[in-house]
Amino acid sequence: MLSDAARQTQPQDDIATRFRAVRGLSLALAAPLSDADATAQSMPEASPAKWHLAHTSWFFETFVLRDGGTGYRPRDPRWAHLFNSYYEAEGARHPRERRGMLTRPRLGEVIAWREAVDEAVIAALPGLDAAMRDRVMLGIQHEQQHQELLLTDILNLFAANPLCPAMWEARRDPPSPAPDPIRWIEGRHGIVEIGADARNGFAFDCEGPPHPVMLTPHALADRPVTNGEWQAFMADGGYDRPEHWLADGWAWVRSQGISAPLYWRRAEDGVGWASFALDGLHPVRPAAPVTHISYYEADAYARWAGARLPTEAEWESVAAAIDPNSGNQLDEAGPVRPRTAGAGGPGLRQMFGDGWEWTASAYLPYPGFRPAPGAVGEYNGKFMSGQCVLKGASCATPRGHARASYRNFFYPHQRWQFTALRLAKDI
């Protein structure tokens, strides 16, 4: 959320420009999809693309146009039941696991609804007070989250199709040399402050308040673990050796038959590996960061490598000095894939972009955290149980959305997002 001082740095015209850009990008991402593509749901954790387009419109319609007293009349009051996600204060809603059953409204109707909401928000902006302009900024950040989810959910859907359909034409990357061996960069130690300060710009409520933490001497790897390094873990029986795994992780591996990152499959020669992406099936690129791995897998790899995962505070304390808009992130509709590390530099690389990096920290409230009043207070706080924090950004994260204090969170078995890992060790 934004403080009064930060709101003064967000002129109405700037908000309108950003609102239009973000809403337009969502439509561009969905443009290659048929109505059937946009309606199907691959698993309970994922949502159809059409639902993402509709839910984000419902968010603006409800929390800006309705709550802002603009006089706007909902396109169809029944749609609130269909496209509310988890806001208990907004009443009953369609079950998440059955979102793929919503063949109506059609994709074209949802897009027309979006256009009506967009016009109404732009028209209302001059009359909105500072708190409601803050709510528009929340809606913009919320939609950027759903842009990434739209891409990863479609990837999961298309990966289940034996035809391996590509959403976009394949991106032709030049061959990449193996990255330099990992170098260890000493992190900050002693008492450091982490967490977002609302006076410095937008942040979700779970990112604050700022607070001190004590860090012992440690070092972080200068880059993420690569596919080639992950293949060495596999070749050494990494998925078959229980000594590397947490008890829950070992039970998950055995019960689910896990033997490789998600979307990896044996290449046609039966020897190498290929991976599925939004631009089709490609040979695994050894120099690129490994992604689509669970917390359990990341933790097991770290143990195998004689290291560990960084804590959230260790990661954030050094990332605060790095430009969060750097790295391989989402700029426009088109193929999204992690890219190689490239030549080594003097410091930490790929902190923002390519893949969200698992940390060893549980997603829990910071000291002094208080959720916002009303329905928007359900945004983050009620999910602070049983999930792990990821930091950084991925190749599917819209540029401008990331920051060092950002707290992404998923359950330890989930891996359909672009999830990666960076090693840490004690000194």
Amino acid at residue number 192: V
Predicted local confidence at residue 176, as pLDDT: 76
Does residue 148 share a domain with residue 280?
Answer: no
Residue 166 lies in a domain: no
Short-list 152, 34, 37, CA closest to 100 = 37
Residue 312 lies in a domain: yes
Does residue 243 share a domain with residue 291?
Answer: yes
Last residue of a domain, one of 159, 192, 226: 159
Residue 27 burial class via C-beta count within 10 angstroms: exposed 0-12, middle 13-18, buried 19 and up: middle
Q: According to the 3-state scheme, what is the secondary structure of the chain?
A: CCCHHHHCCCCHHHHHHHHHHHHHHHHHHHCCCCHHHHHCCCCCCCCCHHHHHHHHHHHHHHHHHHCCCCCCCCCCCCHHHHHCCCCHHHCCCCCHHHHHHCCCCCHHHHHHHHHHHHHHHHHHHHHCCHHHHHHHHHHHHHHHHHHHHHHHHHHHHHHCCCCCCCCCCCCCCCCCCCCCCCCEEECCCEEEEECCCHHHCCCCHHHCCCEEEEECCEEEECCCCEHHHHHHHHHCCCCCCHHHCCHHHHHHHHHHCCCCCCCEEECCCCCCEEEEECCEEEECCCCCECCCCCHHHHHHHHHHCCCECCCHHHHHHHHCCCCCCCCCCECCCCCCCCCCCCCCCCCCCCCCCCCEEEEEEECCCCCCCCCCCCHHHHCCHHHCCCCEEEEECCCCCECCCCCCCCCEEECCCCCCCCEECCCEEEC
Residue 328 lies in a domain: yes
With contact defined as beta carbons under 8 Å apart, do 275 and 290 qualify?
no
Range of the domain at 114: 4-159
Residue 172 lies in a domain: no
Q: pLDDT by residue for the chain (427 residues), tens digit each?
A: 444 434 444 567 799 999 999 999 999 999 999 999 999 999 999 999 999 999 999 999 999 999 999 999 999 999 999 999 999 999 999 999 999 999 999 999 999 999 999 999 999 999 999 999 999 999 999 999 999 999 999 999 999 999 999 999 987 777 778 888 999 999 999 999 999 987 788 999 999 999 999 999 999 999 999 999 999 999 999 999 999 999 999 999 999 999 999 999 998 777 789 999 999 999 999 999 999 999 999 999 999 999 999 999 999 999 999 999 999 999 999 999 999 876 566 799 999 999 999 999 999 999 999 988 888 888 888 999 999 999 999 999 999 999 999 999 999 999 999 999 999 999 9
Does residue 366 share a domain with residue 284?
Answer: yes
How confident is the model over 394-413, as pLDDT tens digits?
999 999 999 999 999 999 99
Does residue 276 share a domain with residue 214?
Answer: yes
CA distances from 392 to 140, 349, 353, 355, 404 (A): 19, 11, 7, 8, 7
Residue 171 lies in a domain: no
Residue 251: give its domain's CATH number.
3.90.1580.10
Does residue 198 share a domain with residue 131?
Answer: no
Last residue of a domain, one of 159, 192, 225: 159
Strands 388-392 and 408-410: antiparallel
Does residue 202 share a domain with residue 135?
Answer: no
Does residue 322 share a domain with residue 196?
Answer: yes
Does residue 323 share a domain with residue 222?
Answer: yes
Residue 143: give its domain's CATH number.
1.20.120
Query: How many folded domains does the chain comprise?
Result: 2
Last residue of a domain, one of 125, 159, 193: 159
Sign (positive or negative) of CA dihedral 409, 410, 415, 421? positive
How confident is the model over 409-419, as pLDDT tens digits?
999 999 999 99
Residue 175 lies in a domain: no
Residue 380 lies in a domain: yes
**pTM for this one?**
0.95
Does residue 318 share a domain with residue 223?
Answer: yes
Does residue 418 share a domain with residue 319?
Answer: yes
Does residue 123 share a domain with residue 193?
Answer: no
Residue 170 lies in a domain: no
Does residue 364 share a domain with residue 215?
Answer: yes
